[in-house]
Homo-oligomer: A and B are copies of this chain.
């Protein structure tokens, strides 16, 4: 089954928004074992929407559209699809009630143009919209599946996950697994997996790089569930043996969430003393609901004086070894650890650039130090890329090392 995703909206073709819908739907369909061969985007022009629909009806088995389902005059998706398939649009009384109800709950009068939201092509079913107003539509016609979804990503994603997936025919069992690794380049990962990647038609293996992380994705498709599970486990074992030291997690759970869970489980409180990352380690952990269970405080000691005043670092250490040094990182962690409420301290100091690098201490040089009352673990790193890339890689690395430190306690 070949799928095409058609995203409709002038905001896409003018480049005012990123097309996250196509990415979301592609990766979801991949997990369902459906190959997406085409992405098409057109602006809100009736002529070009029609053209895109006509082309896709010739080449795809599953067509998913997003956008153009709203109440205004330039929302034309279902009108054009119905016409292309020779289907009538019929008003659905139940849906009309639902929509009227949504307006009355908001204490707003329903503008008349919303009446058209209750219309759908004959023989199709509505997909309910739990977040917005416009319902989606699921239609089987001419041996094709046509799914019309709203444009706003939050509405679309919720609808796809809860309304569409149960309706998509699963001819085969599909099992997916991701192995998340870091500190190793994608090209090396790919090379080491090369023999594995095309060895089995039932197992799709691919690598995806992001920052200094690599996701190894395995998707198995088969009619025989038991044999598929065995096979997938076999592949996972091989991959785990190859990359043992680099694996930090599974199924794309962010590294900071893994660290958060370990801290919570062990009932540890952590503190951060940051320089080059400017508070990004603290704020990354604080994205997680309930961060206060594990995070006590952070000191962003950006200036030299703040390192001395807030963390009590001896100025002679900085003079002798420099701000970016193992010794300063250790002192930063020690200084923070003096706070009684903290079980673990992580410090970081480095050169995020673009200026300030020397031959001896180039931009990208970063020292991390993790410490509790028994152990002090300093780590030296060299990151490449621009300022943002260096900061982001340093944060990931900090959590990666923190995870190692914690599981060995």
Within 8 A of B (CB), among A1-52: 7, 11-20, 22-30, 36-43, 45, 48, 51-52
Q: Are B283 and A292 in contact (CB under 8 A)?
A: no
Residues of B within 8 A of A236 (CB): none
Give the contact stretch, choosing among A87-95, A96-104, A118-126, A305-313: A305-313
From B14, B281, B291, contact of A26 by CB (8 A) = B14
Q: A40-B39, A48-B37 are known contacts. Are A17 and B277 too (CB-CB below 8 A)? A: no
Is there a chain B Cβ closer than 8 Å to A285's Cβ?
yes
Is there a chain B Cβ closer than 8 Å to A341's Cβ?
yes
Q: Are B38 and A15 in contact (CB under 8 A)?
A: no
From B13, B17, B300, B302, contact of A300 by CB (8 A) = B300
Q: Give the distance to chain B from A300, nearest Cβ to Cβ, in Å.
A: 3
Determine the distance from Cα of A13 to Cα of B208 in the docked complex, in whole angstroms. 13
Q: A279-B280, A279-B283 are known contacts. Are A27 and B42 too (CB-CB below 8 A)? A: no
Q: Which residue of B lies closest to A23 (CB)?
A: B15
Is there a chain B Cβ closer than 8 Å to A353's Cβ?
yes
Q: Which residue of B lies closest to A14 (CB)?
A: B30
From B14, B30, B38, B282, contact of A279 by CB (8 A) = B282
Q: Are A38 and B41 in contact (CB under 8 A)?
A: yes
Residues of B within 8 A of A18 (CB): 18-20, 23
Q: Which residue of B lies closest to A36 (CB)?
A: B13
Is there a chain B Cβ closer than 8 Å to A358's Cβ?
no
From B39, B43, B309, B341, contact of A12 by CB (8 A) = B39
Determine the distance from Cα of A41 to Cα of B52 in the docked complex, in whole angstroms. 13
Is there a chain B Cβ closer than 8 Å to A316's Cβ?
no
Q: Which residue of B lies closest to A355 (CB)?
A: B289
Residues of B within 8 A of A206 (CB): 14, 16
From B43, B274, B339, B353, contact of A37 by CB (8 A) = B43
Residues of B within 8 A of A305 (CB): 296, 341
Q: Are B297 and A301 in contact (CB under 8 A)?
A: yes
What would 15 more interface pairs be, CB under 8 Å, given A13-B37, A278-B282, A279-B286? A16-B27, A18-B20, A19-B19, A19-B23, A37-B48, A38-B52, A39-B39, A274-B279, A279-B279, A279-B282, A287-B387, A291-B302, A292-B303, A296-B305, A303-B341
Q: Give the distance to chain B from A272, nearest Cβ to Cβ, in Å.
A: 8
Residues of B within 8 A of A388 (CB): 287
Determine the distance from Cα of A212 to Cα of B208 in the docked complex, in whole angstroms. 32
Is there a chain B Cβ closer than 8 Å to A298's Cβ?
yes
Residues of B within 8 A of A16 (CB): 27, 206, 208, 217
Q: A282-B278, A302-B291, A306-B297 are known contacts. Are A27 and B15 too (CB-CB below 8 A)? A: yes
Q: Are B302 and A299 in contact (CB under 8 A)?
A: no
Determine the distance from Cα of A55 to Cα of B295 in the docked complex, in whole angstroms. 56
From B36, B43, B52, B286, contact of A280 by CB (8 A) = B286
Q: A301-B297, A305-B296 are known contacts. Are A13 and B39 too (CB-CB below 8 A)? A: yes
Q: Give the distance to chain B from A395, nearest Cβ to Cβ, in Å.
A: 9
From B278, B292, B302, B354, contact of A287 by CB (8 A) = B278
Residues of B within 8 A of A302 (CB): 282, 286, 291-292, 295-298
Residues of B within 8 A of A357 (CB): none
Q: Are A48 and B42 in contact (CB under 8 A)?
A: no
Determine the distance from Cα of A299 to Cα of B387 in the docked complex, in whole angstroms. 22
Is there a chain B Cβ closer than 8 Å to A185's Cβ?
no
Is there a chain B Cβ closer than 8 Å to A290's Cβ?
yes
Residues of B within 8 A of A281 (CB): 279
Q: Give the distance to chain B from A9, nearest Cβ to Cβ, in Å.
A: 11
Q: A279-B286, A303-B296, A391-B287 are known contacts. Are A15 and B22 too (CB-CB below 8 A)? A: yes
Residues of B within 8 A of A28 (CB): 15
Q: Are B296 and A297 in contact (CB under 8 A)?
A: no
Q: Are B39 and A19 in contact (CB under 8 A)?
A: yes
Q: Give the distance to chain B from A31, nearest Cβ to Cβ, in Å.
A: 9
